[in-house]
Copies of this chain bind each other. A is one copy, B any other.
Amino acid sequence: MISKDKLKENLRAVREKAPLVHNITNYVAMNFSANALLAIGASPVMAHAAEEVAEMSLAAGALVINIGTLDAEWVESIIIAGKTKHESGGVIVFDPVGVGATTYRTETAWKIIEECKPGIIRGNASEIMALINADIKSKGVDSSCCSEDAVESAIKLAERTGAIVVISGEIDYITDGHRVETISNGSRMMPRVTAMGCTASSMVGAFAAVSPENLFDASLHAMALMGVAGEIASCNSAGPGSLLTNFIDTLFNITEDQLSETVRQ
């Protein structure tokens, strides 16, 4: 069960500490993820040059790695940043976007997991399943499975990597290989806004930055905020365009009580 006190405390901590979150993320997500991080009071930075990623990732409270629009040079920078961050004992969130859609993505995702040892891995059902079962093929970057189907894979992935694994979907699942917690908030329109999953990963980064000693709770709380904010925002949204706008406004305005009272497991 989620501790509502800790949930409120962690939201407050993000707003008070304004953690720097270093994102090496895809071109589609950058603007939206930066706006979401600013809306909850965190400080986003996007930087990918091999010359600076080590220094930037060390200065940040968390490093978020996302391979949505990967290429060879970016992967090289990701490995530099990730290894440096891991060696310093820092927090890494990994979003294996589109794993299973191409061989290159699958191989790169495992290379990143093995070399950077992320503390948290967040993906949709297809992605989490494709990491465990090479026969699963993703259709681009959207999930073709429901999140429940991926729970077994998530547990295996957590066991195999030592990471907290998050599946986002109609129900979100968070597991460390032993415990499994869920978040049931959200809206059917959320998957129609591009980079919503990528933004969830950045949000997990912000919560992990203020709660590095408990990455399970950080993941759970960030997914709670995503689901609740998406649910509240969708009530006044005529479609995914206005949902995007209202979602950012909701992240900015949501109170600790509103969050803790609306969250459903």
Residues of A within 8 A of B (CB): 20, 22, 26-32, 34-35, 38-39, 43-52, 55-56, 59-60, 68-73, 98, 101-105, 139-142, 189, 191-195, 237-242, 244-253
For A45, the chain B residues whose CB sits under 8 A away are 98, 101, 140-141
B-side contacts of A194, CB under 8 Å: 31, 34-35, 38, 44
Alpha-carbon distance A142/B42, docked complex (angstroms): 10
Contacts of A27 in B (CB 8 A): 27, 30-31, 46
Among B26, B52, B70, point to the contact of A103 (Cβ < 8 A). B52
User: Are the C-beta atoms of A34 and B28 separated by less than 8 Å?
Assistant: yes
A49 touches B248 (CB 8 A): no
Q: Could you say which residues of chain B place their CB within 8 Å of the CB of A30?
A: 27-28, 69
Given contacts A45-B140, A51-B104, A52-B103, whether A245 and B241 have CB atoms under 8 Å apart is yes
Distance of A184 Cα from B149 Cα, bound (Å) = 47
Q: A55 and B193: CB pair below 8 A? A: no
Asked whether A193 lies within 8 Å of B241 as measured between CB atoms, the reply is no
Rounded to whole Å, the gap between the CB of A225 and the closest CB of chain B is 15
Q: Is B139 in contact with A241, judged by CB distance below 8 angstroms?
A: no
Residues of B within 8 A of A60 (CB): 140
Q: Please tell me which one of the listed residues B39, B103, B237, B246 contacts residue A55 in the complex, with CB atoms under 8 A apart.
A: B103
List 12 additional A-B contacts (Cβ < 8 Å) besides A28-B31, A46-B69: A27-B31, A31-B32, A44-B141, A45-B101, A45-B141, A51-B102, A52-B103, A55-B102, A240-B249, A240-B252, A242-B249, A244-B245
Q: In angstroms, how far is the closest chain B Cβ from the Cβ of A59?
A: 7
Which residues of B sit under 8 angstroms from A56, Cβ to Cβ? 101-102, 140
